[in-house]
Chains A and B, each alone.
Chain A
Amino acid sequence: MSHIVVQNVVVQKDVFNAAEQYDLLMRECPGAAIVTFTGYVRDHCDSGCVGQLELEHYPGMTESVLGELGQQASKRFNLKAWRIVHRYGVLDVNEPIVWVAVIADHRSAAFDACQFLMDTLKTDAPFWKREHMTDGSANWVAAKSSDSERRKRWRE
């Protein structure tokens, strides 16, 4: 059997397939409790209909922040494995933006670790979203206080 090297952090422009990511991780790290989250581009926001979502990022810092968050999660929740795939560039509605997977021995650690990673990466990883509306306008998405509140839950 050939050895598959799973990179823990992937930041890419290209679309990915969450089911393929899952299969790849399972081949490498079969585990007892697996929780995954996939975030997709929604077709609406408070100000109207979204046509495309643009994600700017800080190359280099993005990968290192995601790597640090993964290592923190791994230690804190005693994970067997974890993986984060995050996209940048211009994304169409219903395309996946982010995929987070964690593998632990028991469900409660796995659920918590996945929530931890999503809550922390939203406020800590240097990405900035801009919504391109179907009417041709575009606006930067403001950081939400509800996201920073969720982030605070995890401060030790």
Chain B
Amino acid sequence: MITVRFFSMVREALGVEELSVELSDSINSVASLKRALADQNGAIWDETLHQPNLVHALNQRLVRIEAAVVDGDEVAFFPPMTGG
């Protein structure tokens, strides 16, 4: 099981802040997780998770989308940051 978190307008568009996902043979990386979430939850998820500038983090670090996920990991999806 992993934790998936959403922030800012991604969280608002999906209406979800956090969820738990069971890993499987087809969900074992950030990329496959994103694909599964986009494919299985309808048009809004598909559109939101496929926006070109979406940022992803694994265990609170920016990683390549191909990065593998294991049980206990935390993945997050969010729009580009606007700090300062």
Q: State the A residues within 8 Å of B (CB).
A: 39, 55-56, 58, 60-61, 64, 86, 97-98, 118, 121-130, 140-144, 147-148
Task: Decide if B80 is an interface residue (CB 8 Å cutoff).
Answer: yes
Interface size of B by Cβ–Cβ distance < 8 Å? 16
Interface majority SS (helix, strand, loop, mixed), chain A: mixed
> Contacts A56-B7, A58-B76, A128-B8 known; A143 to B82 CB distance under 8 Å?
yes
Interface string of B72-84 (1 = CB under 8 A from A): 0000101111111
> Which one, B60, B76, B78, contacts A64 given CB within 8 A?
B60
B35 to chain A, nearest CB (A): 23
Specify which of B5, B61, B79, B83 lies most central, judged by the most chain A CB atoms within 10 Å of its CB. B83
> Which one, A39, A56, A126, A140, contacts B84 given CB within 8 A?
A39
Q: State the B residues within 8 Å of A (CB).
A: 5, 7-9, 53, 57, 60-61, 76, 78-84
Contact across chains for B79 and A121 when beta carbons are under 8 A apart:
no
Contact across chains for B81 and A143 when beta carbons are under 8 A apart:
yes
Q: Which residues of A contact B81 (CB under 8 A)?
A: 122-128, 143
Q: Which residues of A contact B9 (CB under 8 A)?
A: 128, 140
Contact across chains for B84 and A128 when beta carbons are under 8 A apart:
no
> Which one, B5, B57, B82, contacts A141 given CB within 8 A?
B82
How far is it, in angstroms, between the C-alpha of A143 and the C-alpha of B82 when the chains are bound?
Answer: 6
